[in-house]
Amino acid sequence: MTIQKIALVTGATRGIGLETVRQLAQQNVHVLLAGRDRAKATEAALKLQAEGLPVEAIALDVDNTSSIAAAAKDIEAKHGHLDILVNNAGILVDDLAKKPSEQTLDAWRKTFDTNLFALVAVTQALLPLLRKSDAGRIVNVSSILGSNTLHSDPTSGIYDFKVPAYNVSKSAVNAWTVQLAHELRDTKIKVNAIHPGSVKTDMNSHGDIEVADGAKSSVELALIGANGPNGSFSHLGQTLPW
């Protein structure tokens, strides 16, 4: 009998995170649906449980170190290990009416606190549990907007979309992915970054693909085999430029 994998998805009470939970659970993964608001996480988990899916709610505020530590302790007590971590939580607080040089330092700090520092903190806290897995997987939800190569190319589709705090935070997530993947290259853990696509969500009202498609890249990288990539940046299997 195949032992059920244990996954955790951050920022999972709505949007791409919630859909990632659903698709992983449909693959018989026991998914911990994490949200900063326990009531909202429980409500979302109950709906998926009603669909017959193996989903469990967990309170996890990625911006709160005590919450991160409590979640890690809870997972260890209940499950003893973790197979998959999808770092999905993120924010965009840039003022789209302002130029890059006009964005406030407060916007920069808030963005990096959640999109980078919280992601690193969650990963550090859960890495000991991932090391206990036979095939640990870390998926960092980045964005094509973090690609410096494309931002420097006048012919690229994102060339004129300069949302600096968000964009640079995702560039940093990509860089962190490379660093951690190198550290873990001789282990059974694989670390990759993905671009979900321009998804129709609350954060992106101008998206051009559905949420179900936006979750696919995370799910694919979460379930890769031993010969899968490590330290990559991709969208639906297509390698993206750093």
Domain that holds residue 10: 6-92+119-143+173-239
Residue 206: its pLDDT value, please? 61
166 carries an active-site annotation? yes
Q: Which residues of the chain have pLDDT under 70?
A: 1-3, 199-207, 209
Residue 208: its pLDDT value, please? 72
User: Is residue 24 included in any domain, yes or no?
Assistant: yes
The CATH number that applies at residue 131 is 3.40.50.720
Each residue's pLDDT tens digit, 208-218: 768 889 999 99
3-state secondary structure the chain: CCCCCEEEECCCCCHHHHHHHHHHHHCCCEEEEEECCHHHHHHHHHHHHHCCCCEEEEECCCCCHHHHHHHHHHHHHHHCCCCEEEECCCCCCCCCCCCHHHCCHHHHHHHHHHHHHHHHHHHHHHHHHHCCCCCCEEEEECCHHHCHHHHCCCCCCCCCCCCHHHHHHHHHHHHHHHHHHHHCCCCCCEEEEECCCCECCCCCCCCCECHHHHCHHHHHHHCCCCCCCCCCEEECCEECCC
Domain count for the chain, please give it.
Answer: 1
Q: Which of 10, 21, 150, 166 is catalytic?
A: 166
Entry pTM: 0.95
Residue 95: its pLDDT value, please? 97
